[in-house]
Structure 1
Amino acid sequence: MFAKSNNKINILDVTPIRRSHISTYIMDDGRVRLGILRFKSKWVNKYFLPKKISPEIKVPLDVHGSEVWKLIDGNRTIRKIIIQLATHFENQVDYEERIVTYLYQLKKDQLIDFISAR
């Protein structure tokens, strides 16, 4: 359960959204590579980051993580993401829990946020 303001909300009804400082790159094999800004301030990136260092940290996602990331669009609830990924995971046992755990990890790493319909 995801709690907000003393009201309990079912985690499956929560909508994940990408954080604005994350760029998404689709590689040739269909997997996703994230570009995470080292500093959220463009000013800091421009004046304090050495020229030879990329302003982004590049993080490649595996096949499963890439498929989940592609479905995080700010419109789909976690329930809809799980349903859409059923064929990708070939209905493996506990794949729903794996997706929810992965989304919690993305939230913990500050790559996404959760919003509720309430």
Structure 2
Amino acid sequence: MAKKKDAGKNYLDFVPVRNPSFDFTVADDGIVTIAVEWQGFYHRIAQRFFRRPRVSDIKLDAYGSFVWQAIDGEKNVYTLSQELEAHFGEMDKALSRLIKFLEIMHDHKIISWKEEGQ
């Protein structure tokens, strides 16, 4: 449903905001690890009977770590893509990779989009 709501808008104008309920750490090499706590009835069953962890660590690659650290709640997707290209040089399909990364993070509620007018 969210895709239909966002269908008429330009992704370049979206401003990503980190979800403060997710803890993260930054290693010495700059790699970000996000801790995702699994909650809910089905997750508790999986934890108890299938020995699934209560908290999963999501380790981002160099590109994702750079973008995660660049998200400040003020920069839009276009600005982030310019910083990504400036830092890593020529990348194949940098903008589409960035948008896909942000969509995945949004789908898992790790980031949200800042509402216009705030």
The answer to whether the superposition gives a TM-score over 0.5 is yes
Contact 1:33 1:59 in 2 (8 A): yes
**Once superposed, which parts of structure 1, at least 4 consecutive aligned residues long, lie more than 6 Å away?**
none
The percent of aligned pairs where both chains have the same amino acid is: 24
Contact 1:21 1:37 in 2 (8 A): no
Q: Which residue of 2 aligns with 1:27?
A: 27
User: Structure 2: how far apart are the matches of 1:28 and 1:100?
Assistant: 27
1:74 aligns with 2:73: yes
Q: CA deviation at 1:55?
A: 6.0
Comparing both structures, which one devotes a greater share of its residues to strand? Answer: 1
> How has the CA–CA distance of structure 1 residues 58 and 86 changed in structure 2, closer, same or farther, with 3 Å as cutoff?
same
Aligned-CA RMSD value? 2.7
Comparing both structures, which one devotes a greater share of its residues to helix? Answer: 2
Mind listing any 5+ residue stretches in structure 2 that lack a counterpart?
41-46
Mind listing any 5+ residue stretches in structure 1 that lack a counterpart?
41-48
1:38 aligns with 2:28: no
User: Structure 2: how far apart are the matches of 1:66 and 1:79?
Assistant: 17
TM-score by length of 2: 0.74
